[in-house]
Each structure stands twice: as C-alpha cells, then as structure tokens.
Amino acid sequence: MSAVLPLGHAVRHARNNYSSQSSHAATLPKLTYVATIGIASPKSRDPRNPNRNGIVSPKSEFGIGASPELEFQVFDTDRRLGQNPEAVAIKTFISQLSRSVRCPMKSSDPVRISLFGDIMIHGRVLEAISSRGRRSVIDQVRGIIGDTDLAIGNFELPICPDAVTPKNMLFSPPEAAEIVSDFGFDAVSLATNHMWDHGRETVENTLALVKSSGLEVFGLGDKTGSLPRPIVINKAGVRIGLVGYATASTITKLRCYTGAAPSRRLIQEDCSGLREKCNAIVISVHGGSGGCPEPELRKWARTALDNGAVAYVVHHAHRISGFEEIGDGVAAYGLGNLTGQSGRHGMCIRLDVDGGGVSDWSYELFGIDQWGLPVPGDQNQREELEQIVSRINSILARDDYESYYWRMLPDTDRRSNSFRSLRRDLKTHGWRIMLSRFRRLRPHHLRLMWHLLTKR
C-alpha cells in the first residue's frame, strides 16, 4: 500500500504512538519505508475537489504550480503484518492518511488574499490628502485593508501626463500609483471603462507609473494589440493567477493596450492555461450595473469557477451586491469602492489559500465617508449593508432568477443610467469612435438594449 505523507514524520509518529502504549512493542515486525519523490500535478486534480491528488512521474518540472509531496510505500519484510495488532494499527493509520493528507513542501501556512473593488484617487480623496496629510489617509485605508499577504484591487482612473489635456475630470494625478502602493496593494487591474478616456499617451503613462511604483498589473494587453495575458504571483510558495476582464466596449478590441471582454470561451482558455501553474485563480471583471447581477455575469462566474477559479469578483457600479458559492469557489457580484466619492460602501473578499487551494474565505463590508475614504461604520450602518447583501442573495437563490431579472428591470433605474453613460461616452469619444465600436456588441448587449427599450 502507499500513502501521501509529509516528509515521513507522520509514519514515525504513528509507529511511535502505537508502539509506546503497548507491551508488544518489542514484537513489532520490521517495516521498511521506501520514499519515492512524486509531484502532485494540478492536471491530475479534480478542480472541484482539491483533496483528489494524482502522483505523477518525478521527471515532471518541479515547482511550477505543482505541490511536491512524498509518497511512502510500506513493505512488510517480515510478512507478519497481519498477525500484529500494532502493525495493523499503523497500516490503518497510513491508509487513512492516503485519502486525506496533503502537505506541500513549499508552504505550510495559508496565504491571505484580499480582493477590493474600485480605487479612485481624485476629487475629495486628494482634498483629504491635502488637508489631513498623506500619512493620515494611508493609515485610514490600511485600517480597512488589514493584515493580508496579497491585496488586489481595480485601478479605476488613468494618470494624465502634463502634456495631455484631459477630456473629462475622471483622471488621477501622477502620485496616485505611489499612493495605492502605500495603501498596501500588490496588484491592480487596469481593465476599466475609463482607461482610454484621454488617449494612448495617458494609457502608456499610467502603465509606466503603476509598474514603477512596484505594483503588478493585469487586465491590459501590450502595444502590439494582443489580448491581455494573465499574470502569476508567488507568495510564500503559493502561486496565484490573476485574470482581468472588462465588459465596456471602450476598452476592448483596441489596436494597442486593449482590454478583453469576458466570454465563456476566453474564460475557459485562460483558466486552462493557469491550472498548470497556480494553486489558485482569481477572475476580476469590470462590469455590471450594481444591484442584482445580469444573468451573463452569473454564467461567466459559473464558467470560471467550474474551470478551476477560486474567486470571481465584479466591480464598476460603485455599489455592493450579493455573492454565491459555486463549488469550492465564491462569486461576488459587486465589491463597490475602496476609495472615491462616487460610492457609498464597499466589500472585501478574503481568501486563505494554501497549496491545495482555498482553505477558507470570508467577506467584510465597510462604508465610504465624505472624503471618499473607507470607514468601518457603526453597528447600524453595518446592519444596513448586511441587509442589502442578504436581500440580493435571497434573489440569487431563486430558481427562476433569469426571468425574474428581466421582469424586474423596468422597475430599476438601469435605463436612465445606461443612456446617461452613452451620452458621456459620446461626449468623450465622439460619434465616429462610438459608431466604430458597434462591431464589438455581443449578444448580451443586444438583449439588454431590447429589454431597456421595450420595458418588457
């Protein structure tokens, strides 16, 4: 028989534990432990059941997303194993471990990942920095981010260089990237609907400043026009893959530094490419209208989590929404803001990830003060936010959710918000650019337009 054991100490512990309590210790048969190195390959794992490992050849490439483990084979050289109760107990102990124990050599403690929504450094946030001091603002934000190993958010606004005349007020100053880094963030998505508001020079300036501040960047392609590539971050031996999408047509299918719109095919491809390299995959989507999520957002979430992702988070509407557990992962459909006066509240998803995937997860809710900065809020405010999430979660649990969503749509402010966004984009980009982007419309866009116009 064989069992997956951490460095052999479990076998020694089992033998000592059973033999030290028995008067028959001296009669234990001689057991030979032969260790063979194997790699627990993600390819041989069931993504929905992280305890199901496969041991493959030692020739596998060591360390690229794999969890190295030792396989111990137990040979009864005296052939008296079945006759000795202590030895039988050891055999039983090892048999149980073979079904449940996994011990990556690289990381024994889980890595805490904290996922936040939109980070906006402009307006009232800059006023707070000017009046109260930068350190005071950083400390306030860090109090919400808390103790974490990896903080990930959405860098909402581009950073305009001095040579560029902004087309609207939605941009950040040059020090914004350094401020976000000082908040404690490790990686940010740049796949936002505002990233191209002020042209290519601003996008390149934003990329350069964000990277120079020490932040990892995902969600944008390169200057050749290729689709954005997922990134992998290694924290204490745990490898986390990050993928960023945006539903807005103003960021997708551009000739350079393009974003990517989510689709089932693209999500499957990205997750497939990361499963061989990562212990956990996080999908970040900039889209949605807030409140109850569009049916398409839920379909993409299920595709992501069914293909190995552990978290699928949505931001853009500056409002919190509900969440649901799908398999061993979580989909959160509205993280709101971390900073910025456009939002009133935010949500943080916290994941504890080890070599076997997510061991635990939780969420936290917080408010946004008059300066556009996060605050814990008092008991009444937290209860109000919990009620918002609970109400949406109860709707998500409906069997007829999709038909209910379309029946509910005319009673919301979705139509006015959509047309207001269209007018803003026309003013920013002009008719010619907007007309050229009709080729990027996807079926869910047309379906939404039909329901908004007909009020069905």
Pinpoint the alpha helices (H) of 63-170: 85-100, 124-132, 134-145
- In degrees to the nearest 10, what's the CA dihedral of 348, 361, 384, 378? -70
Token readout for 356 is 């076997």
Pairing of strands 67-76, 31-40: antiparallel
> Residue 353 corresponds to which tokens in the numbers above?
């990830």
pTM of the model: 0.71
Name the one residue in this structure whose structure tokens are 């799908």. 326
DSSP state of 167: S
Per-residue pLDDT of the chain (456 residues; tens, 9 = 90+): 333 333 333 433 443 444 444 444 343 333 333 333 333 333 333 333 333 333 232 323 333 333 333 333 343 434 444 455 555 555 555 544 433 433 333 445 899 999 999 999 999 999 999 999 999 999 999 999 999 999 999 999 999 999 999 999 999 999 999 999 999 999 999 999 999 999 999 999 999 999 999 999 999 999 999 999 999 999 999 999 999 999 987 888 899 999 999 999 999 999 999 998 999 999 999 999 888 999 999 999 999 999 999 999 999 999 999 999 999 899 999 999 999 998 899 999 999 999 888 999 999 999 999 999 999 989 999 999 999 999 999 999 999 998 888 887 755 555 555 565 666 566 665 666 556 555 555 666 666 666 666 654
Ranges of each domain in the chain: 2-100, 111-411
Closest CA to 398 of 295, 309, 304: 295
Task: Tell me how far apart the alpha carbons of residues 40 and 173 are, in angstroms, rounded to a whole number.
Answer: 47
| CATH code for the domain defined by 111-411 | 3.60.21.10
Provide the greatest CA pair distance for the chain: 90
Quote the DSSP letter at residue 371. T
Query: Two tokens at 79?
Result: 């052939």
